[in-house]
Amino acid sequence: MKAIHKIYGVLALLIFVLVGLIIGSLMSGKSTNHELQATEDVAQSHYPGIQIATEVEEKAHYHSAVHYPVFKDDKLNKTITAFVEEEKAHYLKEVADNEVLLTERGWQASFYLTFDIHPVEDELYSIVFSTESYVMGANGRQTSKVFMVDLGSENFVTADDIIRVNEETRDVLYTTLKNYFDTSTDYQDMFFDDLLQEWIESTDFSNLYLSRDAITFKFDKYEVTAGAAGSPEVAIPLNDAGPFLKEEWLKKLKVDEPTEKNLETDNVSAGEKEEDDQLISIDKKKVALTFDDGPHSENTLKALQLLAEYDMKATFFMLGSRIDFYPDLVKEVFNQGHEIGNHTWNHKQLTKISDAAIKEEINSVNQKLKDIIGESATVFRPPYGATNDHVESFLTVPSVLWTIDTLDWKTKNPDAILAEVKENLKPGAIILMHDIHATTIDALELVLPYLEEQGYTSVEVSKVLE
C-alpha cells in the first residue's frame, strides 16, 4: 500500500509540474505585437531541391526572424543548421546578459538571420547569409557567411576549390579591390587601405561567392570600411577573374565565353496593366483584405483561387526575400488584378536600422518587382507595424497599417479568425492576415462568404484609402 501511495504521489507531482509548465509557457508567450510569436514554416522555393525554413519568435525582451535553406541531403542540412543554431545562441546569450537593462529601459532586442540564393550553373548555388542583431545600442552586430552548395554531388564547394591562393594572386586581388573602393562613389570616402591590406594578407577568402556572371567578395561591417558603409560587396565579372581562378573552374564556368544573363521580365508597364473591370456600386461596402509575409508556394495560390471564386481583390504585402524565390507566383498575383505591396526585403524593424539599410530594405523590393512585373509596389507596410516620421520620409507610396488584426499568427484557428472579423468589421476596414499559414487560408474560406452575406466586397487597399 505504501508503494502505491508513493506512486500516486509521484504522479500527482508530475501532473502539477506539467500544468505549471504549460501555464508558464502560455504566460511567457503573451505579446501585444501582431507578428508571429513562435512559429516555424517550411516551404518549397523557386529553386529545385531547396526549401525555405522560416522561424519567427516574439518574446517580452526580444524578437527574432530566422530564414535558412533546407536540402534533401542530411549532411548539408547538418552544416547549415549548426551555423544557424550557433548564430541564435550568440544572440540569446547577449540578450540574457543584458536582460536587466533591457527590462529597465523597456527596450526590445532584435535578431535577423536571412539569406539570398545565387544560382551559378546546373545544381550549384551560392547561399549568402546575413546576420544582424541589435541588443544594446544603435549599431548592433552585422556579419555574413557564405556556403556554396553543389546539390549534384551533395557537397559544399570552398574558396580553396575555386581560386589559386598565392602571393601573386593576392597582389592581383588587392589591386582589383582597391581600385573598386577608390573609384566607388558609395565607398571611396569610407574606405581604409590599411585594413584592405591586412585582409588580403590574412584572409582565407571564405566569404567569396559565385553567381552566373561574377565572383563576389563580401565584407563584414567595419572589415575594410567605416561602419556607415555597412557590409560592402565587390563583384568581379567572371571574364576578369582569370588571373585567380583555378583552371578547372575556368573551364567549368566557361570564363572565356560570353556569359548570358537569363533575366526574365514581363515588360509590363504600369500603363499596360489591365484595368480592374469590377465596378463596385456605391451601395456596396468596401473593405481591404491584406496578406503579409508571403508569397507562399501553396497558400498564396489557394488564396488566389478563393478570391477569384468570390470575385474579390486583395493586397499582398510581400517580402523581397520570398519574391526572389517565387517570381512566377508574383506574376500570377499581379496578373489576376491584385495589388502588390512592399513589406521590405528581410522583414527588419526599420526604426532600429541605419538610413542606408532602410533604403536597401525598401528599394531592393521595388527593383525586384520591376524586374518581374514591370512596376514597383503601390503601397508599403512596415514590418511589425514599426514606423515613424523618419522611416516614412524614405517612402514614395502610402504606408498602410490595419484596423482589424485577425491574430491568425497567434490562434491559428479559422473560427477565431472569423470571430475577429465579425466583431470589428465596418466599411473601410483593413484586415490583416498572413498567407504563410495554412490555417489562414482555411479561415479565408469562412471570411469571404461572410463578407458577401453582409454586403461587403474586398478591394485593393489603395482603393479603401481613396
In order, the DSSP letters of 292-352 are: EEE--TTHHHHHHHHHHHTT--EEEEE-HHHHTT-HHHHHHHHHTT-EEEE--SS---GGG
Q: Which of 99-108, 266-275, 441-450 is predicted most confidently?
A: 441-450
Catalytic residue among 34, 63, 343, 434: 434
pLDDT higher than threshold 70 for residue 11: no
pLDDT tens digits, one per residue of 335-354: 999 999 999 998 888 988 89
In SS3 terms, 17-52 reads as HHHHHHHHHHHHCCCCCCCCCEEEEEEECCCCCCEE
Q: Residue 145, SS3?
A: strand
> What CA–CA distance (Å, rounded) separates 425 from 431?
9
Q: Residue 404, SS3?
A: strand
Predicted pLDDT at 64: 87
Report yes or no on whether pTM surpasses 0.75: no
pLDDT higher than threshold 70 for residue 284: no
Residue 464 parent element (H or E) = helix 461-465
Q: Are 236 and 215 in contact (CB under 8 A)?
A: yes
* Higher pLDDT, residue 105 or 368: 368
Task: Tell me which fold the domain 280-465 belongs to.
Answer: TIM Barrel (3.20.20)
DSSP codes joined into one string, 230-246: -S-EEEEEGGG-TTTB-
DSSP 429: -
Phi, psi of 181 (to 5 degrees): -65, -40
Q: Which three cell numbers stand for residue 211?
A: 553567381
* Higher pLDDT, residue 107 or 227: 107
Catalytic residue among 220, 292, 324, 405: 292
pLDDT higher than threshold 80 for residue 149: yes
204 is catalytic: no
Q: Which three cell numbers stand for residue 231?
A: 557590409
**Cα 409 to the center of its chain, rounded Å:** 17
Predicted pLDDT at 260: 35
> What CA–CA distance (Å, rounded) separates 301 from 294?
11
- Cα angle: 242, vertex 243, 247; to 5 degrees: 60
pLDDT tier at 139 (50, 70, 90 boundaries)? low
Q: Which three cell numbers stand for residue 208?
A: 567569396
pLDDT tens digits, one per residue of 296-311: 989 999 999 999 999 9
Q: Residue 126, SS3?
A: strand
Predicted pLDDT at 261: 33
- The percentage of residues in the chain with a pLDDT greater than 90, rounded to a whole number, is 48
Residue 446 parent element (H or E) = helix 438-453
* Higher pLDDT, residue 25 or 373: 373
Q: Which three cell numbers stand for residue 417?
A: 479568425
pLDDT tens digits, one per residue of 168-206: 888 888 888 998 888 888 888 889 999 999 998 888 888
pLDDT tier at 44 (50, 70, 90 boundaries)? low
Rg, Å, the chain Cα set: 25
> What CA–CA distance (Å, rounded) separates 337 from 295?
15
CATH architecture of 159-252: Alpha-Beta Complex (3.90)
- In which residue are the cell numbers 585594413 written? 195
Q: Which of 187-191, 260-264, 366-370, 385-389 is predicted most confidently?
A: 366-370
Does 280-465 match 159-252 at the fold level? no
pLDDT (average), residues 438-453: 95
pLDDT (average), residues 39-50: 72
Q: Which of 81, 126, 77, 140 is nearest to 348 (CA)?
A: 140
For the domain covering 32-157, report its CATH number. Answer: 3.30.565.40
Predicted pLDDT at 327: 93
Residue 57 parent element (H or E) = strand 51-58
434 is catalytic: yes
Q: Where are the domains of the chain?
A: 32-157, 159-252, 280-465
